[in-house]
Amino acid sequence: MKILYIDGDGPFGGASRSLFEAVRALPAGSVEPHFVASRGTALDVYMQVAKDYVSTRGMTKFDNTRYSHYRGIRWLVLLREVFHLPFTVAALMKARHRWKDIDLIHVNEAVYIIPAMIAQRLFRVPMVVHVRSLNQSDLRSRRTRWLVDILARRAGAVVAINENTRATLPASLSVHVIQNSFTAKRAPKPDRHVVEKLDALRPGSLKVGFVGNLHHSKGLFEMLEAAKAIREAGRDVEFLVVGGVTTEEKGIKAWALARAGLAQNVQSELAAQIERDGLSDCFHLLGATLDIKCVYDRLDVLLFPSHYDAPGRPVFEAAFSAVPSIVSVSKPFADTLVDGETGIAIPAKDPAKLAEAILHFADNPDEVERMGANAKRLAESNFDPSTNARKLLELYQRVLQTA
C-alpha cells in the first residue's frame, strides 16, 4: 500500500513527531510511505521512514483552528498562504510525475486541506485527514461550514487525536479517535549539553518542566509568574524549559507574522525576564533536544499551561516516565487527563492557580508518586505505538475497500 503523507510544518514539533511515530510503528511491509513536506527538521526526521520524498519551500494552509484562525490583523497571514501556493502546487505535481500509483493520501493536519485537495485531484485517490488541533466549532461561520463540508464530502476518513479535539468537530461528522503514540526510549546518543544541565540541578528540589516549541501561547510567562510566587513561598522548586523557537522568517513575511502574533522571539524575551526577576537560580532554559526521554526521566511534574485549552503530546510522553502533569484545560477528557488522578487541571492564563498546583506537589511528594503511577498506566493503555498503528492501518484498509 503506497501512502502519500502531506505535512507542511517545517520545524519538528508535536504534529510531525506524532506522524513520525505512527508511520514508524506500522507493521513491517504494510505501507510504503511517500512524503511531500516542507523543508526543515521535520523532513529530516521523516527521511528516516520515507520510501521517497519531495520537499517544498512552504505549504499553503487554511487555518480554522481555535487559536490561530483568521481574524483582525491575522488576515495578513493570507499573504503567506498565497506566497506558498506556487511552491505547494509545484511539489505536488512533481510528486505526481514521480509516483504514478499512490493508493491513499494522508494529510497530517486539517490546516493543510488545500494541498490535500490538490493532491486528491492529481492522484484521484481517497484521503484521510488528521485533525490534531482544536477547531473553531461555530457553525454560523462560513469558514467552519466550508471545512466541515469538505471533510464530509472529500475525506474517506477523519481522525481526531483525542476526545478534546473530537469535541470541537460537529457530532454529525463521522470521526475516528486514534490517540497519538510515543516510543519511550532514550536516544542512541545522549545529548551531552542537556545532560550536563540536568546534572547541575539541585538534589532534593522539585523539578517541574515544560517541553515544546516556545511561544507566548504556551503559557511560558505564566510559568515565570508562578516561579516568583513559589520563591516567595520559600519552596525549593526548579523550572525547566526544553524547546526552541518557531521558525524565524525575514522581510515582509516576518513583518506580517509578527503583526499577527504568530512569530515571536520568545526565547530572548524569556531570558531577559528571567534576568530582570532574578530567577536564574531556579528557572532554566535548556534548549531543544531529541533526547526527550532523558528529560522526562529527570522531571517530577510536567507543566502544560497552554492557552489552547487542550492537553498536548508532552502530557502523555512524560506519563511514560511516571510523571504527572499540570494542564490548562477546562474540560479534561479521561483518555488524556484524569483530574486529581493522573495530574491536575487548571484554568488557562492563571499563574496563581499554576503556582497553587505546583505547591500541592511540593508539599505532598507522595502525590507525585501516586499520580505519576496512574499517568503511566493511562499512557500504556492509550498511547502504545504498535496498538495505535494497527488501528491506523485498519482504517487505511477500510477506506480503500469502500472507495
Confidence class of residue 263 from pLDDT cuts 50, 70 and 90? low
Domain ranges of the chain: 2-181+384-402, 192-382
C-alpha–C-alpha distance, residues 271 and 285, integer Å: 8
pLDDT of 158 above 70: yes
pLDDT at residue 254, as a whole number = 58
Q: In this predicted model, which residue has the larger pLDDT, 205 or 264?
A: 205
Confidence class of residue 131 from pLDDT cuts 50, 70 and 90? very high
Which residue in the block uniquely carries the three cell numbers 504514478? Answer: 100
Confidence class of residue 257 from pLDDT cuts 50, 70 and 90? low
Q: In this predicted model, which residue has the larger pLDDT, 257 or 18?
A: 18
pLDDT of 259 above 80: no
pLDDT at residue 185, as a whole number = 85
pLDDT of 188 above 90: no
pLDDT at residue 13, as a whole number = 85
Q: Per CATH, the architecture of 192-382 is what?
A: 3-Layer(aba) Sandwich (3.40)
pLDDT at residue 248, as a whole number = 54
C-alpha–C-alpha distance, residues 37 and 7, integer Å: 5
Give the sheet arrangement for strand 32-38, strand by strand: 52-56, 32-38, 2-7, 104-107, 127-131, 155-160, 176-177
2-181+384-402 and 192-382 in the same fold: yes
Q: Which residues contact 172 (CB under 8 A, 6 or more apart)?
A: none
pLDDT at residue 249, as a whole number = 54
Per DSSP, the three-state class of 224 is: helix
Q: pLDDT (tens digit, 9 = 90+) per residue, 281-322?
A: 999 999 999 899 999 999 999 999 999 899 999 999 999 999
Q: pLDDT (tens digit, 9 = 90+) per residue, 38-52?
A: 999 999 999 999 999
Q: In the CATH hierarchy, which fold is given to the domain comprising 2-181+384-402? A: Rossmann fold (3.40.50)
